Amino acid sequence: MTLTSHVIPIAKELGVHCHILFISCTTMLSLNAYTPLHLDKKKKKVEQHEQGPSAGGVGDVDIPDVRCIPQSCLPQPLLHLNKLLTKKFIDNNCEIISTNGFLVNTFDALEPAALAALRDGKVILGFPPLYAIGPLRS
């Protein structure tokens, strides 16, 4: 995931299929996929209310048909929107929609809601195919 914003465009240019092996859970993948949209909605809401850019911080992330993740449970780097690591995280998550599919470390009975929400386009419209291939052993 850390290089998707660089690798996916190159793979597309070369005509190579690009699948991402996501070794975390589907709920985390849904957070990654939804974060850019959440931040964009939050930014628009702040602009409409003419508040400063950091008003309220990132806030709770309510991922459609998955769950609401409180700001206190978000990965710490995500809370610092002006940092380089966070900007790369967001860039990578914007690009994942362009991949050919995901292999995720889960199985259907473990995360049915998150898998269904991603597969049905409820988190992000047009999300790539998702294949549950877990549990993976390290």
Cα separation, 103 vs 49, whole angstroms: 40
The dotted CATH code for 4-132 is 3.40.50.2000
Per the CB < 8 A criterion, the answer to whether 89 and 78 are in contact is yes
User: pLDDT by residue for the chain (138 residues), tens digit each?
Assistant: 567 888 888 988 999 999 999 999 999 999 999 999 998 888 887 777 655 544 557 889 999 999 999 999 998 878 888 888 888 888 888 888 889 999 999 999 999 999 999 999 999 999 999 999 999 887
Q: Phi and psi for 131 in degrees, rounded to 5?
A: -120, 120
**pLDDT given at position 2:** 65
Cα separation, 102 vs 28, whole angstroms: 13
Residue spans of the domains in the chain: they are 4-132
**pLDDT given at position 127:** 95
**pLDDT given at position 56:** 55
pTM: 0.84
**pLDDT given at position 125:** 93
First to last CA, the chain: 18
